[in-house]
Structure 1
Amino acid sequence: MTIADHVREIESVWQGNASMRDPYVIQSWRRCLDDYRLDPAVNAEAVILPEGRLKEHRQQAEGLIAIARSGLERLYGNVANQAYVLLLADRAGVTVEYLGDPRYDDDLRRAGLYLGSDWAESHAGTCAVGACIATGEALTIHQTDHFDMTHTPLSCTAAPIYDTAGQLSAVLDISLLKSPVEKTSQNLARHLVTTTVRRIELANLMERTRRQWVLRFALSPEFLDVDPEGGIAIDDSGRIAGLTHGAARMLARAAGRDWRRPEQLIGQPISRFLDLSIDDLPALMRGRPTHERVLRARDGNMLFAHAIEPPPRPRAARQTLPPALRRLGGETPEIKALQDRAARFARTDLPVLIHGETGTGKEYLARAIHEASGAKGPFVAVNCAAIPETLAESELFGHAPGAFTGAAPRGRRGLIEEADGGTLFLDEIGDMPLSLQTRLLRVLAERTVQPLGAARPRKVGFRLISASHRDLRALVAAGSFREDLFYRLNVAALSLPPLRSRGDFDWLLARLLATRQREGRPVRLAPDAAAMLRAHRWPGNLRELDNVLAVATALCEEGEIRVADLPGGLGPVSVRTEDDAAASLRAALDGCGGNVSALARRLGCDRTTLHRRMRRLGISGRLRPQH
């Protein structure tokens, strides 16, 4: 095919004419024309990143590379004698790992099948890595499927690698410099690359969820223990804590949800997707024959499953939890998991990214990590949303004497430099202007800061903790947050639950009341006032609760907060006596045959919440196996 013929075909497709090409090829051609304004008549030469930029991408993907390496080497051993090349690209399209025959290095580098090659669709045109990132699907871009004639000799097959949170993390590509004419010749390559990706995702899930139950499944009992099709991590309350892509598709299909929206899956009770509770997991362990370990999905499909129990937690672990982190919350599985995770991060110098709604205590958690780390330097908190953009640069980076009109005569150290030897906390990082994001990225990469007007940069060393109530991934997609900075920040992630979903609400209420008692007279809550506080949705979270208690403490008489003392807007609730609540709960439990897990599913809560409610009301429950 000549260049003119190729250009005419692309123009014909763009005009809406029928084509024999795969739909994902046509969609990529349209993106290249409409979104990226590329010209198919202009050859797009391969882009190989310089060593410094490649090093940044490899550092950000270091954990994935380590986990994927054995799978890549096994796959390459199977295809090396057929002249295939393997590329592992990060989610930006940059090749961070490469396996190929060194005898053909020059040819492979010219073709872009090399370490550091950038296959982003926005400049490389239609290619397997770029199209895979755009669609999230495994696919083959074969010869003239490519957008311009530079890459038409190549045949490239790619499959997406998803992280345990259901987000596209990387792409595995298998390519040939020259291949047979027929596209179907690459069907085996697609099978090999998708199989390898499935194994990489399972290995990643097992590595990152060691302290949780993992449920692996297959459609056939013969393959359950040797090559499962997916895996799901389940936390102590029976909720989904992580999963592979195969599991995401299976769960979404079972409940009629969209696998492309992982927030519909992560954090949800496993019982919404499978006829399963956490009490049923021991029966699915390897002690039973595979054909007896059967599960039914909510859509009626049958699965064979293998449950892997987490190792027991050391009893001493809770005793050694730093005091600052112990003060974060009460004894619920979710909070204990958060405290343990934060404690492990505190012992490292990894950047921490905290996500949570406004008022959930992100700065409190950041300070607790700083205290637990034993850092000698200060804790410097910066609210990126509160500093005017015109002053932000000098506030963060400082300035030399006379750097601008109104500058301090002796200059000024910026907040970043003030954090030297300690912790820099960047709150609401999502509101930082793009220009400052670029400068911050350089500080993180070079560990130096250059004040405005200064001739030389200064060395700085600090622990970075950032936080946001906004979805930074969405900001990256919208172009308002730098993707490379996001990957720098999102290394060790923590998520603070909103107050309305915290199982330790009564503990928090008691702690805040105790604080008010220390400030003045002792205060207690009337039962109907406590019930109203529990029923409120708390859009302002802990900050709102603390303010409500402050007002109520000022208004109450005789040391008791009543409903009349609470601010307006909390809304009335139907208050029942403890005896009424106990009688109702006993009747509901009897209706479920005494099975606590079944009652929890009926009420739409987790078992730990239900057990806590039963203990408070003096109800004992007996667990019965479900069939």
Structure 2
Amino acid sequence: MFSYSDHVREIERAGRGLPVSRDDMVVKSWLRCLEHHRLDPAQTCEAYIVPEPRLKEHRQQSEDLINIARSGLEHLFRQVAGQNYVLLLSDRQGVTVEFLGDPLFNNNLRKAGLYLGAEWSEWRAGTCAVGACIEAGEALTIHQTDHFDNTHTPLSCTAAPIYDMHGELSAVLDISLLSSPIAKASQNLALHLVNATARRIELANLMAQARHEWVLRFSRSPEFLDVDPEAAISIDGRGRIVGMTHGGAKILARAAGLDWRDPRQLLGEPVSRFLDVEIDDLPDLTRQRPTQDRLVFARDGDALFAHAIEPHSRIRAPAVSREQIPPPLRRLGGDAPEIVALQARAAKLARTSLPILIQGETGTGKEHLARAIHEGSGLNGQFVAINCAAIPEQLIESELFGYLPGAFTGASAKGRKGLIEQADGGTLFLDEIGDMPLVLQSRLLRVLAEGEVLPVGASVPRPVQIRVVSASHRPLQALVSQGAFREDLYYRLNAATLSLPALRDRSDFDWVLEEILKRHSGGRLTLSAAAVMALKAHDWPGNIRELDNAVAVASALAENGVVEIGDLPEVLVGKAGAGGCEAGAALDLMLVACDWNISEAARRLGLDRSTVHRQIKRYRLKPKH
């Protein structure tokens, strides 16, 4: 019989680096509990159920996923009926937002934490299936004494991650028993069932969100391709990856020798980088052809049967017209469907008090979007912007929180109101929040949690009421995983996320270019065709800010009211060299920028593929290896 003291001693052995007879993922979780979460295996802790108002918030944020997952959960529950299993759907914070179990055991289940609102994050509950699954990102079983906390050792829990279409962990599906057979292997079937259900929920979610894109589904067996595929990806009209299931991410990553844990390496890339497939090949992979003939090869040689599903509509129709969007947000983009959808989402969020995280590359206009959200919020207070990367670390505390007279050497005799307090009644914009030092993250968390600020040198806090919008070009979720950003602060800032596309991916590029040209020339200048092609061929690592600088230079140099290719900054035309006439050189630049993908070059230029082919022959252009 394995006693409580034996359990504690085994965890302590693992903590000293001594061998123990446990799965590797269990040992890693124990070590995180000891070293990172600072939990004590001798200190037992009962299951924690979040308060009702907080549970309501978690369920509201997960409402779409719950609706999509419900039929899958009910099907799984029917499969294990009569075996006393409990099903939990937890969000990415480990809070149970959906629950299926026998109501006769409700009291026992609630006490054990197998209930709606139970929080199974690893830092709170120790090693458990949900918490370890969130940390590892893989399906696993935590059986009886695998649990860190002795309170949970009667349980046997099996969990699988559910990823959203952008490769981020969004939920965990758990199937648990209050008591179980001794052998851990008895849960192998549960592991298979929960994995299969998570896969189907991911696929349903992808299909719901990718109605206007191509969807490519995969299977190792042609017999199951159309009825129960193993993985899927979604592809936009330019042939680039815009969504994927967890299995799809692994197929893509393996094909290119990448890490599936970093979805940024996969999303936005042409599908031809991973598979021997172009966007124009997808119609040949629909059900019009026999299943066994729909075979594709990954770049690593892997053979897969594929089923392509056509978009419902070639042009995505936004839920609202552009005229319904408030003017401050409307000024941020043209009428491209994905931009209008982003503006409409921002307009709805602006009217709430929810904290918003804006993600996007440097120069994509994150602060402009934040200001537009403030203008559309109806708040009476100021918009106060703080660049967390620009303020010296030794000054950032006094800048944010303010200080009393004489609080430190060099302080103003009158003291100073901090930037957070200046935003009282308005919007606090935290730009490059990912660069905020950890010690200040703790103080900011307190401000957000308690609604009060404590100036340097003060003993009595001051109440503040602020709307927080933050932004970062760095993936905050990855920083959390690396321990560089507080997880609790991340969830405080990230009630809703708005992702700004890179300029090279914006289908309203022409609108952006025209607006910037108007601003710099007052409508006096036009662009030659060669100049437009050179601008479209550039990758724009600096995004809109870089384009703005380029147009400013061209406006200063242009003569006779037309911007020619020679008026552009050298970085945009230097690759052309002596490439013949300007049009030929610009087309050459575009083809290089698109890795000689004719379909992509034609899309960017707004031309037919046949026209591009004719121009390639006319100017005798060839790939440069």
TM-score normalised by the chain length of structure 2:
0.78
The residue that corresponds to 1:155 in the other structure is 156
The alignment's C-alpha RMSD in Å is: 4.4
User: Residues 378, 533 of structure 1: CA spacing in aligned structure 2 closer, same or farther, 3 A cutoff?
Assistant: farther
Is 1:494 equivalent to 2:521 in the alignment?
Answer: no
Query: Could you list the per-position Cα deviations for residues 465-514 of structure 1 after superposition, in whole angstroms to 9, with x for gaps in the alignment?
Result: 54332322234335565545544554553333444565665654443232
Residue type at the aligned position of 2:245: T
Aligned to 1:127: 128
Structure 2 residue aligned with 1:343: 344
Residue 541 of structure 1 is matched in structure 2 by 543
Deviates more, 1:108-117 or 1:130-139: 108-117
Q: 1:367 to 1:209 in 2, by over 3 A?
A: farther
SS of aligned partner of 1:92: coil
The equivalent residue for 2:307 is: 305
Aligned to 1:434, which of 437, 441, 457?
441
**Helix, strand or coil: the match of 1:181?**
coil
Stretches of structure 2 that go unaligned for 5 or more consecutive residues are 404-411, 615-625
Equivalences for residues 390-539 of structure 1 within 5 A: 390-393=398-401, 406=414, 416-419=423-426, 427-430=431-434, 433-434=440-441, 437-438=444-445, 441-442=448-449, 465-478=469-482, 481-487=485-491, 489-499=493-503, 508-518=512-522, 522-523=524-525, 539=541
Moved more, 50-59 or 66-75: 50-59
> Is the CA contact 1:128–1:158 (under 8 Å) kept in the aligned structure 2?
yes
Gaps of 5+ in 1: 396-403, 590-598, 623-627
- 2:619 is aligned to none
State the alpha-carbon separation in 1 of the partners of residues 453 and 21 from structure 2. Answer: 57
TM superposition shift of 1:217: 2.2
Distance 2:306 2:556 in 1: 60
Higher mean displacement: 170-179 or 353-362:
353-362
- Do the aligned residues in 1 keep the contact of 2:87 with 2:176 (CA within 8 Å)? yes
Flag the 1:201–1:532 CA change in 2: closer, same or farther, 3 A.
Answer: closer
- Partner SS, residue 116 of structure 1: coil
Deviations 1:566-608 (A, max 9, x none): 778878443456758659979x99xxxxxxxxx9998355734
- Structure 1 residue 354 and structure 2 residue 361: aligned? no
1:81 paired with 2:74, answer no
How far off is 1:302 after superposition?
2.3
Q: Following TM superposition, by how much is the alpha carbon of 1:562 offset from its aligned partner in structure 2, in angstroms?
A: 7.9
Instruction: Return the alpha-carbon distance in structure 2 between the equivalents of residues 465 and 245 of structure 1.
Output: 30
Aligned-partner residue type, residue 304 of structure 1: A
Moved more, 197-206 or 310-319: 310-319
Cα 1:515/1:366, change in 2 over 3 Å? same
Cα distance in 1 for partners of 2:465, 2:237 equals 44
Deviation at residue 58 of structure 1 after TM alignment: 2.9
- Contact 1:14/1:30 (CA < 8 Å) preserved in 2? yes
Q: Displacement, 1:515?
A: 1.9
Tell me if structure 2 keeps the 8 A contact 1:165–1:266: yes
Structure 2 distance, partners of 1:606, 1:418, is: 53
Give the Å deviation of 1:329.
4.8
Aligned pair in 2 of structure 1 residues 176, 44: CA closer, same or farther (>3 Å)?
Answer: same
Aligned pairs, number: 588
Bigger mean CA offset, 546-555 vs 151-160: 546-555
Give SS of 2:26's match.
helix
CA distance in 2, matches of 1:540, 1:584: 20
1:383 maps to what in 2?
386
Residue in 1 that maps onto 2:407: none
**Paired residues of 2:91 and 2:171 also in contact (CA < 8 A):** yes
Change (3 A) 1:566 1:20: same
Cα deviations by residue, 1:492-546 (Å, 9 ceiling, x for unpaired)? 5333344456566565444323222229xx4567899878867776554333443
Contact 1:528/1:562 (8 A) holds in 2: yes
Map 1:252-291 to 2 at 5 A. Answer: 252-291=253-292
Structure 1 stretch 385-394 or stretch 300-309: which is displaced more?
A: 385-394
Match in the other structure for 1:593: none
* Per-residue deviation, residues 172-219 of structure 1 (Å, max 9, x unmatched): 111111111111111111111111111111122122223222222222
Please give the secondary structure, in 2, of the residue aligned with 1:258: coil
Q: Which whole-Å CA distance do the structure 1 matches of 2:384 and 2:116 have between them?
A: 39
Deviations 1:443-470 (A, max 9, x none): 8xxxx8899999997988x7x6543323
CA contact (8 A) 2:126 2:149 kept: yes
Q: Distance in 1 between matches of 2:503 and 2:55?
A: 42
Contact 1:359 1:544 in 2 (8 A): yes
Identity %: 53
Q: Is the 8 A contact 2:322 2:340 kept in 1?
A: no
Decide whether aligned partners of structure 1 residues 315 and 364 sit closer, same or farther in structure 2, where only a CA change above 3 A counts. Answer: same
What is the CA distance between 1:239 and its match in structure 2? 1.1
Q: Shift in Å at residue 146 of structure 1?
A: 2.2
Q: Distance in 2 between matches of 1:313 and 1:536?
A: 25
What amino acid is the match of 2:101? G
| Structure 2 CA distance for partners of 1:296 and 1:601, relative to 1, 3 Å | farther
Contact persistence 2:599–2:609 (CA under 8 A) = no
What is the letter of the counterpart of residue 494 of structure 1?
L
Residues of 2 paired with 1:602 and 1:533: CA distance? 13
How many angstroms apart in 1 are the aligned matches of 2:132 and 2:218?
Answer: 29
Q: Secondary structure at the match of 2:94?
A: coil
Answer with 41-50 or 170-179: which moved more: 41-50
Residue aligning to 2:408: none
Q: Which residue of structure 1 lines up, in the alignment, with residue 93 of structure 2?
A: 92
Structure 1 contact 209–233 (Cα < 8 Å) conserved: yes
Q: Which moved more, 1:373-382 or 1:468-477?
A: 373-382
1:101 lines up with 2:109 in the alignment: no
Asked whether the equivalents of residues 529 and 583 of structure 2 are also in contact (C-alpha less than 8 Å), the reply is: no
**Is the Cα contact below 8 Å between 1:450 and 1:457 reproduced in 2?**
yes
